[in-house]
């Protein structure tokens, strides 16, 4: 009787797993259909920088990306650099989005992206930073060049509209899929 039950349990777990898989693929199809995405959603890793305790910027960015049809892992505020790197290595997101508003973003962001690019397998990961990059208001754009040189793929200032960011995400979604991790053998 006990054995029968466990056989039954296993069968029912199998059915449930199948049902879940078809459910999640239905959700994905629906997401693609509803958002007009012609490709599967991106997995976006969203994070604040280590010193920044602001959270509404992260909530806003998560909602924006989800509204575009993408899947977001939000690491929240004050995330240590090492945690961002480890989650990138473990989860292999398609895009890293760093949001910062406390004014230290140009310093913390530069240190973070140096650390990310230190990992050979994360060198090509599309990674952007945006928000209030410093404490110079509209002159924060001056930080963009340094952040790009440090390794970010794109930099967005809070004063500009979100359209360029949305365009960028669409480009990543169309042209880049998370490649299998194949490190170049020299």
Q: Which residues make up the interface to ligand B12 (CB under 6 A)? A: 51-57, 60-61, 97, 99, 101-103, 128, 130-132, 135, 156, 158, 162, 165
Residue closer to ligand B12 (CB basis): 28 or 153 = 153
Q: How far apart are CA 84 and CA 117, in angstroms?
A: 12
Provide, rounded to whole angstroms, the least separation between the CB of residue 6 and ligand B12.
48
Q: How far is the CB of 127 from ligand B12 (least distance, A)?
A: 10
**Beta bridge partner(s), residue 73:** 45
* Start-end of H helices in 50-91: 56-67, 81-91
Q: Please, which residue, 55 or 153, has the CB nearer to ligand B12? A: 55
In angstroms, the CA 153 to CA 94 distance is 13
Nearer of residues 97 and 122 to ligand B12, judged by Cβ: 97
We find the least distance from the C-beta atom of residue 129 to ligand B12, in angstroms, to be 6
- Considering only CA atoms, give the Rg of the chain: 20
Cβ distance 108 to 132 under 8 Å?
A: no
């Amino acid at each position: 009787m006990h054995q029968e039950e466990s056989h039954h349990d296993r069968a029912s777990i199998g059915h449930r797993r199948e049902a879940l898989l078809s459910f999640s693929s239905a959700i994905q199809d629906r997401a693609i259909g509803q958002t007009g995405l012609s490709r599967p959603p991106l997995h976006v890793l969203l994070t604040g920088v280590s010193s920044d305790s602001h959270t509404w910027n992260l909530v806003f960015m998560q909602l924006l990306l989800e509204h575009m049809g993408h899947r977001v892992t939000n690491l929240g505020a004050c995330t240590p650099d090492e945690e961002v790197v480890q989650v990138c290595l473990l989860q292999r997101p398609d895009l890293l989005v760093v949001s910062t508003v406390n004014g230290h973003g140009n310093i913390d962001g530069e240190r973070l992206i140096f650390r990310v690019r230190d990992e050979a397998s994360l060198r090509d990961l599309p990674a952007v930073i945006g928000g209030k990059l410093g404490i110079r208001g509209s002159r924060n754009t001056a930080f963009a060049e340094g952040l790009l040189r440090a390794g970010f793929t794109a930099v967005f200032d809070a004063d500009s509209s979100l359209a360029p960011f949305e365009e960028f995400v669409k480009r990543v979604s169309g042209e880049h899929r998370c490649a299998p991790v194949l490190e170049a053998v020299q």
